[in-house]
Amino acid sequence: MSATKAAPLTSGTAGRLTGICRVPGDKSLSHRALILGGLAIGRTRVTGLLEGEDVLCTAGAMRALGAGVTRQGEGDWLVSGVGIGGLQEPDTLLDMGNSGTGARLVMGAAAGHDITAFFTGDASLRRRPMARVTEPLSRMGAKVVAREGGRLPLALTGAASPLPITYASPVASAQVKSAILLAGLSAPGETTVIEPLASRDHTENLLRHFGASVTSTPTNDGGRRITVTGQPELKAGDIVIPGDPSSAAFPAVAALLLQGSAITIEGVGINPLRAGLFETLAEMGGDITFANKRVEGGEPVADLVIRAGALNAVTVPAARAPSMIDEYPILAVAAAFAKGRTVMHGLAELRVKESDRLSAIAQGLSDCGVTVSIEGDTLIVEGTGGKVRGGAAVASALDHRIAMSFLMLGMAAEKPVTIDDGATIATSFPGFVSLVNGLGGSIAAA
Ligand code: S3P
């Protein structure tokens, strides 16, 4: 996607947040619905699809690969699948924009097809490591020519006869796992991924929804062993996408921090492998209730009821990182206001997100007057237990979650916070500013 013009935003001290809202559809599930729908036989109707730029890039890529992808109405999409083995060679570059998930998962799907595809993305995505997927995909028979360090742009020629592999992933990454499982769909026999800690299991859940055989068993050391049986016939089946817990995280933390707030966020996905932030906030004393728990489209969903209250510092174990990997920027903001020292372990992966999030969080907090340090893979935030100064211009580094987190900080701080570019927010959370302001927030163009 072409780069959008930078749009600086500012947030000043807000009063209490109140009201009921819904956040846009889950980003992880939205990518997967389009990709698996494209590999299934028949028509999949997806409702609640996130229409953020990241997902629209995946929609464009699947279309270029021959799947029928059409929008019927808001969040309401039809995907006509071509069947496993049916993807066509795209006659254009696949521009995955800002999206690591889109790039890595589409590479996985393409790797099991006898086609050549060229992948690129924005400046942030072109800096991110791709060898973590191209290396195992090469073992399955794909051929990849990439820039130094396996970076984009790269050319991938899929395998005419992909080999099933057993791959012990050095990182707990749902993107790595999913890329291999998607390539494994084209291979005969069983393809297995062993992950060091359990990562989000949306790919596994959706594969089962489409009729594939997937097993997942815990390993002795806290990880998981996931096996897909290749060459299934995926049968199209409708998908309802819940609200994204990673997006709900921003208004949820703001409501905890702004005195007198009480908000409800309806229909949020609460898959246990995504819910680490809510667990952590509860440990900090945050008043968050899961009301009307139900299962929608195979995923657990609830209405989150959040009331403001004082937070206490906490130590977050490394083992929890995969279940809240995208939530450390906003947790660090909560920690700045909490009483005491919050210690977050096991954050090496934050260095290779949309930005080097470990540095971006530390820099932004420090600019806002918070005492913060990084020791190896550990982030330490000294919470004030009360006021935080704010009053800084924070660099969002092409990272939507850094941008949204610091806007939330600005609403609870003494002085306004400005971020250099709010345009990136559209990658995951279109309508963010009006949703937050509709609850009583105070975000404006800078
Ligand atoms: C995602 C997995 C995570 C996460 C990303 C979405 C996914 O990345 O950070 O935002 O949908 O599979 P990693 O697989 O790199 O941990």
| Ligand 1 center–CA 428 separation, angstroms | 13
For residue 322, give the ligand 1 atom closest to its CA. 16
* Residues in CB range of 335: below 8 A, 6 or more apart: 311, 313, 314, 342, 344, 381, 383
Nearest CA among 170, 173, 112 for reference residue 139: 112
For residue 203, give the ligand 1 atom closest to its CA. 12
Q: Which residues are catalytic?
A: 326
Distances in whole angstroms, Cα of residue 32 to Cα of each of 151, 241, 308:
22, 10, 35
**pLDDT score of 2:** 41
Can you read off the two tokens belonging to residue 295?
């299962």
Q: How far apart are CA 155 and CA 134, in angstroms?
A: 10
pTM recorded for the entire structure: 0.98
Distances in whole angstroms, Cα of residue 214 to Cα of each of 54, 60, 225, 323:
27, 28, 10, 21
| Ligand 1 center–CA 353 separation, angstroms | 9
174 lines ligand 1 (CB under 6 A): yes
- pLDDT < 50 regions, the chain: 1-3
**pLDDT score of 287:** 98
Q: How far apart are CA 225 and CA 264, in angstroms?
A: 37
201 lines ligand 1 (CB under 6 A): no
What value, to the nearest 5°, has the Cα angle with vertex 175 and ends 113 and 314?
Answer: 175
**pLDDT score of 1:** 42
Tell me the pLDDT tens digit for each residue of 257-302.
Answer: 999 999 999 999 999 999 999 999 999 999 999 999 999 878 999 9
326 lines ligand 1 (CB under 6 A): yes
**pLDDT score of 6:** 85
**pLDDT score of 5:** 77
* Residues in CB range of 148: below 8 A, 6 or more apart: none
Tell me the pLDDT tens digit for each residue of 347-368.
Answer: 999 999 999 999 999 999 999 9
Half-sphere CA count of 324, side-chain side, radius 13 A = 25
157 lines ligand 1 (CB under 6 A): no
427 lines ligand 1 (CB under 6 A): no
| Ligand 1 center–CA 244 separation, angstroms | 13
**pLDDT score of 251:** 98
